[in-house]
Amino acid sequence: MKRLTVELEIICIGNELLIGKVLNTNAYWLGGQATNLGVDVKRVTVVQDIVFEIAQVILEVLARKPQFIITTGGLGPTFDDKTLQGIAKALNRNSEVNPKALEMVKEKYIQYAIAKKRPVGELTSAQIKMATLPEKTEPVKNPIGTAPSIRVDIDGTVLFALPGVPSEMEAIFTQSIAPIVKQTVGDVVFCEKSIFVSEIMESTLAPLIDKVMNDNPGIYIKSHPKGEENKPHIEIHLTLRAQSKNQPSEKILKALNELINLIQQTQKNLH
Assess 252 for contact with a second copy (CB under 8 A): no
Assess 124 for contact with a second copy (CB under 8 A): yes
CA distance linking residue 134 with residue 31, whole number of Å: 26
Minimum Å gap between C-beta 155 and a second copy is 21
CA distance linking residue 202 with residue 209, whole number of Å: 10
Assess 187 for contact with a second copy (CB under 8 A): no
Which part of the chain contacts a second copy (CB under 8 A), choosing from 43-51, 154-162, 178-186, 253-261?
43-51
Of the pair 36, 264, the CB lying nearest a second copy is at 36
Q: Could you count the other beta carbons within 10 Å of the beta carbon of residue 189?
A: 16
End-to-end CA distance of the chain: 55
Which part of the chain contacts a second copy (CB under 8 A), choosing from 10-18, 84-92, 244-252, 257-265?
10-18
Minimum Å gap between C-beta 74 and a second copy is 10
CA distance linking residue 226 with residue 99, whole number of Å: 53
CA distance linking residue 144 with residue 148, whole number of Å: 10
List, in sequence order, every beta strand (DSSP E) within the chain: 7-13, 40-47, 68-72, 95-97, 132-134, 138-140, 149-154, 157-162, 188-198, 220-225, 233-243
Assess 153 for contact with a second copy (CB under 8 A): no
Residue from 228, 244, 257, 264 in contact with a second copy (CB under 8 A): 228
* Helix or strand (DSSP H, E) at 78: none
Residue from 99, 143, 179, 207 in contact with a second copy (CB under 8 A): 207
Q: In whole angstroms, how large is the CA radius of gyration of the chain?
A: 23
Assess 249 for contact with a second copy (CB under 8 A): no
Of the pair 60, 258, the CB lying nearest a second copy is at 60
Of the pair 22, 260, the CB lying nearest a second copy is at 22
CA distance linking residue 165 with residue 30, whole number of Å: 13
Of the pair 16, 138, the CB lying nearest a second copy is at 16
Assess 31 for contact with a second copy (CB under 8 A): yes
Which part of the chain contacts a second copy (CB under 8 A), choosing from 89-97, 131-139, 204-212, 256-264?
204-212
